[in-house]
Structure 1
């Protein structure tokens, strides 16, 4: 087995091991990160008009799938973790006629394409791309699955500010008798794609793999496939009183992109 295949399997097994812990943590309402940053920007770019067919990529426990139904959509949602799909189904019993859950590997083009050529009005992937070992098959497949002019909206940790080995720096300075606090990020690399282990939620059973890619890497794949970029958001948290810890007020922790099929 190639090293890449081993990495892929290891990545998937780690997510399956973390699945129940993540579901318990996210619950029905998800966390502040998703509620304040991901969901508003994603909904703004997705522009669900109601009665649309939407594909939810790497759906996790189905939090956003259920939100899409509330907005009027019919949803097909998939994840490569069987445990996560089990949890999603348990949480979605009242949505049985609006959400179809499937176990699918996002790196398997042949499995993805069986979902239906030009079947979906749009597709969404919330904070998943950086967890997928190879996004090329997914991008190609979604282009085929979308109707003409269909949109693919996805969010990722901001690759410009959250790179492997990035350091969060907190400085204090006495300026004319006033203590000034300053937060920043120190990075030493950005352009080279790289897998690394990370902890998304404190206490999760095992670290999971993340796959750093530059914006130009993502843009190149989408452009080559026949998408155009026509929407982007860089949300940050609402400012609160300084508590001497690292903030994400002027440095966006995530980026949300909308690519459209042409």
Structure 2
């Protein structure tokens, strides 16, 4: 943990600075990316049933936490940004069966203080690639989930959204018809590390992101008593021809479901 301490603190400060614009951007219903790609596939993998207890990790302003309540779950949610938790509470003031906490996802002890074998499900939407050290979180999940409990998380697709990835658009005249092809160039997939990014163009300051390979995540979860039993790579449905780049035939995200097999 000591090797990550400075980077974790800097990351937290940046998210606090960006918190209010992120709250405005995500609102109550989130953005198109979450509504069309993250939410439906995450809900399918989570398989929420009435009365189950769900831990929402890095919950932001709580828009998915509130969705879980609508589906019948009892929710405990946390984020390391006190400003985002403040906004989450304001947006959730008329809803029951939910509690919010300010907790750093790299803080093992704080997470397990929420109760060992206390949760049926855990979820983290587009968050693990923003967390400097995910090892304490995975260790804690093996403690707070019940046997057979599942953890569903989504991240930017590590194969197609590597640091420095470039979007490429090419046009070609084929038998008198101009064809436009959109593609990407990826770099340094096997080299894990941190980089800075702007997920919202107007956010005040860039935030840190952390690239990790599929094998990194697999090894970490397998060694912590989990098995992979669900996976999805959603992309947007192409509804009309246009030359603008979008994620139609290349998945921008990967969504995993790991099940705890150790008691």
TM-score by length of 1: 0.98
> Which residue number in structure 2 is paired with residue 29 of structure 1?
29
Displacement of 1:7 after TM fit? 1.3
What are structure 2's unaligned runs of at least 5 residues? none
SS in structure 1 of the partner of residue 100 of structure 2: strand
> Which residue number in structure 1 is paired with residue 173 of structure 2?
174
SS in structure 2 of the partner of residue 225 of structure 1: coil
After superposition, the C-alpha distances for 1:201-227 in whole angstroms (9 at most, x for unaligned) are 110110100000011101110000000
> Which residue number in structure 1 is paired with residue 187 of structure 2?
188
Displacement of 1:189 after TM fit? 1.0
SS in structure 2 of the partner of residue 246 of structure 1: coil
Matched, 1:133 2:132: yes
After superposition, the C-alpha distances for 1:222-242 in whole angstroms (9 at most, x for unaligned) are 000000000001010011323
> Which residue number in structure 2 is paired with residue 80 of structure 1?
80
> What does 1:1-262 correspond to in 2, within 5 Å?
4-95=4-95, 97-262=96-261
After superposition, the C-alpha distances for 1:82-120 in whole angstroms (9 at most, x for unaligned) are 00000000000011x311000000001011110100000
Runs of 4+ deviating beyond 3 Å: none
TM-score by length of 2: 0.97
Supply the distance in 2 between the matched residues of 1:63 and 1:196 (Cα, whole angstroms). Answer: 27
SS in structure 2 of the partner of residue 93 of structure 1: coil
User: Would the aligned equivalents of 2:165 and 2:187 in 1 still touch at CA under 8 Å?
Assistant: yes
Supply the distance in 1 between the matched residues of 2:88 and 2:130 (Cα, whole angstroms). Answer: 19
Two-structure CA RMSD over aligned residues (Å): 1.1
Supply the distance in 2 between the matched residues of 1:242 and 1:22 (Cα, whole angstroms). Answer: 31
Supply the distance in 2 between the matched residues of 1:243 and 1:249 (Cα, whole angstroms). Answer: 11
Displacement of 1:174 after TM fit? 0.4
Supply the distance in 2 between the matched residues of 1:188 and 1:82 (Cα, whole angstroms). Answer: 35
Count of aligned residue pairs for this structure pair: 261
Supply the distance in 2 between the matched residues of 1:4 and 1:65 (Cα, whole angstroms). Answer: 28
Displacement of 1:246 after TM fit? 1.1
Supply the distance in 2 between the matched residues of 1:3 and 1:34 (Cα, whole angstroms). Answer: 33
After superposition, the C-alpha distances for 1:16-67 in whole angstroms (9 at most, x for unaligned) are 1101100011111110000000000000000001110000000000000000
Instruction: Indicate the larger mover: 184-193 or 239-248.
Output: 239-248
